[in-house]
């Protein structure tokens, strides 16, 4: 597919790459492409970063027809590399199927990413812990108020140079187990990366922040008994030498970092159990000292140690509120592969020369 390129007349001043935070700055260009049933995907274009006009009756504004992905590009000696981009497309297409949005072929997705990132290459920060966050998203923009499958959609990619997601950086975060609100139920949209899941999660997150916690840990929406995931990451626990992570029951996002960590841990000889883990089992492991380490996994969050787990008003400290040995080892291995500092034996990275 031909991608039309309209370059920005003037380039923006870049922010201080040592003080990026997460998702606050955006590069000079963005990718856009439209879909309708007659023409399929068409008018692929890279244009100056800017506002997008939206019809007031647009499906996305009323019925939340929106899906997105989160990926990263890392600067390398002769260009940059992306981590498992084809996995993000697979997941985006699963999300699209769930929300009745159109799917996207891998060739177009990859070409759009490469052309856009290469054009805005100077925006990829290079110091340790930084990267170029990539946010592909798609929304329905039918201009009518009926509720139905999407007939018209737009796909966009924006780029943002980022540092760490949490203000804590690699220091342990405090997480509270949510016992009131639920994020998702089986049969719903929990496994899809759609905006609505996040809209529903904000209230609990806000209450948690008011009590000094970084995010909430969700329980399953039916029995409120089993551990699911955190607001922006999957979770793993080291209990009595074994790694336990909630199974993908349909209400948990199938994280690409989660999948990659499971592979690495198994290669290192650890037993990894993907199964239902009840909050009672987790809390009694914390009380008996068998909960050795806990961490979250995610593109934005990377590997994020959990230092405090709070449930029903009681705080349980994990690994003395310090980063655990295995958590640190996993962080070093994963980021080593992503930053191109360690061998990528599994061929996870897509390398692009600039
Ligand atoms: N769970 C939720 C709710 C998320 O938003 C994310 C972030 O994308 C993850 C888990 C981790 O997924 P991934 O490792 O693919 O980034
Ligand atoms: C990511 O890790 O890419 C995410 O999408 C998390 C996000 C909700 C900030």
**All domains of the chain, ordered by start, with CATH?**
4-162 (3.30.470.10), 173-338 (3.20.10.10)
Task: Report which bound ligand comes closest to the CA of 134.
Answer: 2
Convert 294-327 into a string of H (helix), E (strand) and C (coil).
EEEEECCCEEEEEEEEEECCEEEECHHHCCCHHH
pLDDT < 70 positions in the chain: none
Cα-Cα-Cα-Cα dihedral of 189, 193, 199, 202, to 10°?
A: 110
- CA angle, 237 as apex, 231 and 242 as ends, to 5°? 155
Q: Does residue 35 contact residue 153 with C-beta atoms inside 8 Å? A: yes
**30 Cα: distance to centroid of ligand 1 (angstroms):** 23
Residue 175 CA to residue 164 CA, distance in Å, equals: 17
Task: Report which bound ligand comes closest to the CA of 251.
Answer: 1
**70 ligand 2 Cβ < 6 A:** yes
* pLDDT value, residue 170: 84
Phi and psi angles of residue 194, each rounded to the nearest 5 degrees, phi first: -120, 150
- For ligand 2, atom 8: residue with the closest CA: 232
pTM to 2 decimals?
0.97
* pLDDT value, residue 168: 76
* pLDDT value, residue 165: 83
* pLDDT value, residue 109: 98
**184 ligand 1 Cβ < 6 A:** no
**215 ligand 2 Cβ < 6 A:** no
**299 ligand 2 Cβ < 6 A:** yes
**182 Cα: distance to centroid of ligand 1 (angstroms):** 17
What pLDDT digit, counting tens, does each position of 285-315 carry?
Answer: 999 999 999 999 999 999 999 999 999 999 9
Instruction: Provide, for the chain, the percentages of residues in helix, strand and coil under a 3-state DSSP scheme, each rounded to the nearest 5.
Output: 25, 35, 40
């Amino acid at each position: 597919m031909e991608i039309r390129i309209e370059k920005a007349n003037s380039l923006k001043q870049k922010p201080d790459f040592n003080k990026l935070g997460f998702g606050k700055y955006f590069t000079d260009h963005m990718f856009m492409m439209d879909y309708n049933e007659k023409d399929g995907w068409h008018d692929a274009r890279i244009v100056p970063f800017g506002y997008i006009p939206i019809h007031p009756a647009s499906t996305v504004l009323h019925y939340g027809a929106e899906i997105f992905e989160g990926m990263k590009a890392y600067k390398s000696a002769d260009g940059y590399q992306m981590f498992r981009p084809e996995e993000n497309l697979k997941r985006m297409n699963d999300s699209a199927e769930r929300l009745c949005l159109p799917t996207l072929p891998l060739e177009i997705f990859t070409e759009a990413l490469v052309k856009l990132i290469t054009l805005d290459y100077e925006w990829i920060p290079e110091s340790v812990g930084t990267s170029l966050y990539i946010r592909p998203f798609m929304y329905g923009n039918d201009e009518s108020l009926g509720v139905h499958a999407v007939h018209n959609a737009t796909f966009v990619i924006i780029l943002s140079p980022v540092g760490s997601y949490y203000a804590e950086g690699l220091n342990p975060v405090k997480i509270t187990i949510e016992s009131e609100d639920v994020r998702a139920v089986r049969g719903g949209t929990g496994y899809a990366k759609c905006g609505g899941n996040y809209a529903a999660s904000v209230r609990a997150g806000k209450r948690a922040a008011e009590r000094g916690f970084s995010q909430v840990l969700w329980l399953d929406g039916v029995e409120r008994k089993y551990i699911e995931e955190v607001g922006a990451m999957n979770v793993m626990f080291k209990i009595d030498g074994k790694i336990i992570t909630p199974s993908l029951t349909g209400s948990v996002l199938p994280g690409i970092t989660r999948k990659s960590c499971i592979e690495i841990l198994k290669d290192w000889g650890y037993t990894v159990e993907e199964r239902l883990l009840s909050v009672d089992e987790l809390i009694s492991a914390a009380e008996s000292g068998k909960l050795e380490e806990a961490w979250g996994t995610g593109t934005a969050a990377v590997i994020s140690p959990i230092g405090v787990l709070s449930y029903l008003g009681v705080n349980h400290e994990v690994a003395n509120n310090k980063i655990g040995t295995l958590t640190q080892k996993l962080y070093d291995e994963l980021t080593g592969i992503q930053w191109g500092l360690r061998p990528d034996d599994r061929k996870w990275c897509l390398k692009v020369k600039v």
